[in-house]
Structure 1
Amino acid sequence: MATLVAFHAHPDDEVLLTGGTLARAAAEGHRVVVVVATDGMMGPVPDKGAPRLDELRASAAILGVHRVEHLGYADSGHGPLLYPDPPDRTRFARADPEEAAARLAALLREEKADMLLSYDPNGGYGHRDHVRVHEVGKRAAEMADVKRVREATMPHDNVMRLVRLIRLLRIPLRFDDAALRAVGSPSSAITHRVDVRRFAEQKQAALAAHRSEVRGDGRTAAVMRVLVRLPTPLFGLLLGREWYIEGPRE
């Protein structure tokens, strides 16, 4: 059995990009570890802890994940402004890439990781924290000598078809056309296509565990609310496949 480490930017990314893969790996008897760079919070962490990390742990338990870790950084936000760091921690986009990679590499060595899941060079859709995940993940794999790296992505054509459907249904989606044109990768670049329809129920339940995102007013909240309410077979039809690009380490 292998150990799979999935490195993500924020809580909820583990479901949207790799949830079915994680559930499948766990069901097949592999050890599955999720590491998030940020706690998903822009401001100071309250005394009770970061609520989105609690939601991440609940989501991970549904997927069968064995361990969840946070690298210790704050969310950097999306948009033209990079706000000052909160008083208790550094925004991931401002982190020293070598230091962040060393933190992740230590976890990879501790777990004796056989494979690292990371992001494509554009971080899926250009979010500064996602792009940094690609950079830090690639460097950490080098440091820890993890030879199997898979970069989570989406076929651009599939993304645009889904966007057209969302707009046809008049579901609010707060992304401009220029940003959407940069989402995903060309189909020719994708090396691994994973059918996870068998795990659609787990993936949908794990997404629903991210209550603050589903019930909030973020840019994708309206779409997430629709997704968690869909009949499971339809959810599986829409989100029952996950895609990866073979990384440079193998």
Structure 2
Amino acid sequence: MSLTMVCFHAHPDDEALLTGGTVAMAVAAGHRVVLVMATNGEQGLAEPGVASAPDAPALGARRRTELQASAALLGCHRVVELGYPDSGMHAEHGGFSTVPVEDIARRLADILTAEAADVLTTYDARGGYGHPDHLQVHRAGVLAAHLAGTPTVAEATVDRSRLVRAARWLERLRIMPGTVSADRLARSYADPAEITDRVDVRRFARAKRAAMRAHVSQAGGGDNVRTLALLGRLPLPLFRLVCGTEWFIVSGSPAILRSGQQPLDG
């Protein structure tokens, strides 16, 4: 039976990092996937030679183009851009995180209703690593699913214990992305006991890596190694090992997350 999954994300590149493999898997299984993007990500860092915060509209336009390329590589059937301003990490720009939750939820609920969505993916209650726009995606997503009567909500997250172990290893090698730290990650994402579904996306690693690489503007910028650059440089066998699982906290039926999936080792 074909189902419809709507994936709600904060910034271009989040869709590839957190749900890219699951999206590609669902499409391969014959399901419809709609990607809804809250912002253009215009407050993100950018690689040298690409406009960044002082010229935010130009970066936003660049990231919208990258989003379309990523969505095509993953096989998304429709992309909806809500067009809210990017708040920035500290919400110093106002933006999406300051918009009334009910207003966002109603717009998203209209999409869920029009698509007769079976599943909505959003973020965990911590907003992953705590970005204000990620927290807003969680709040608005949960309310929108309630308003639209969407039966299943899958909160995209990461197994915190695995993330912290990897971060401490990267810190020892002095290649840890400068925007995060192992201590901060220990208070982020989800404890393993909270996670209901671990999705094996190793067969779709090539599509996920290609989608991540589509976000060229986010592979550089700032004085530290960027997560996308670090992961995008991994050879495919190592990428499968590092990025071959996606995690969710699911309320409702997780059937679409298991379509075409092979059991995880261990």
Query: Of the candidates 120, 139, 142, which is equivalent to residue 135 of structure 1?
Result: 139
Residue type of the alignment partner of 2:36: V
In the TM superposition, 1:6-155 aligns within 5 A as: 6-42=7-43, 46=57, 50-79=61-90, 82-85=91-94, 91-155=95-159
TM-score normalised by the chain length of structure 2: 0.85
Q: CA deviation at 1:177?
A: 4.9
SS of the aligned residue for 1:50 comes to helix
Tell me how far apart the structure 2 counterparts of residues 188 and 83 of structure 1 sit (CA, whole Å).
34
Which runs of at least 4 in structure 1 moved beyond 6 Å after TM superposition? Answer: none
Q: CA deviation at 1:178?
A: 4.5
Residue type of the alignment partner of 1:60: A
Residue type of the alignment partner of 2:214: A
Gaps of 5+ in 1: 86-90
Indicate if the aligned counterparts of 2:205 and 2:239 stay in contact, CA closer than 8 A: yes
Does residue 242 (structure 1) correspond to residue 246 (structure 2)? The answer is yes
Indicate if the aligned counterparts of 2:161 and 2:186 stay in contact, CA closer than 8 A: no
Indicate if the aligned counterparts of 1:142 and 1:249 stay in contact, CA closer than 8 A: no
Tell me how far apart the structure 1 counterparts of residues 223 and 197 of structure 2 sit (CA, whole Å).
30
Indicate if the aligned counterparts of 1:118 and 1:133 stay in contact, CA closer than 8 A: yes
Residue type of the alignment partner of 2:65: D
Deviates more, 1:47-56 or 1:93-102: 47-56
Indicate if the aligned counterparts of 2:40 and 2:60 stay in contact, CA closer than 8 A: no
Q: CA deviation at 1:145?
A: 0.6
RMSD: 2.1
Does residue 192 (structure 1) correspond to residue 203 (structure 2)? The answer is no
Task: Give the aligned partner of residue 206 of structure 1.
Answer: 211
Tell me how far apart the structure 2 counterparts of residues 156 and 25 of structure 1 sit (CA, whole Å).
25
Residue type of the alignment partner of 1:35: V
Deviates more, 1:224-233 or 1:58-67: 224-233
Indicate if the aligned counterparts of 1:171 and 1:222 stay in contact, CA closer than 8 A: no
In the alignment of these two chains, the number of paired residues is 242
Give CA deviations for 1:191-219 in whole Å, capped at 9, x if unaligned: 11100000111111110000000133386
Task: Give the aligned partner of residue 88 of structure 1.
Answer: none
TM-score normalised by the chain length of structure 1: 0.90
Give CA deviations for 1:34-89 in whole Å, capped at 9, x if unaligned: 1111110136764796211110110011111111111121111113xx3244xxxx
Does residue 159 (structure 1) correspond to residue 182 (structure 2)? The answer is no
Q: CA deviation at 1:222?
A: 2.8
Give CA deviations for 1:200-246 in whole Å, capped at 9, x if unaligned: 11111110000000133386x53321211111010010000001001
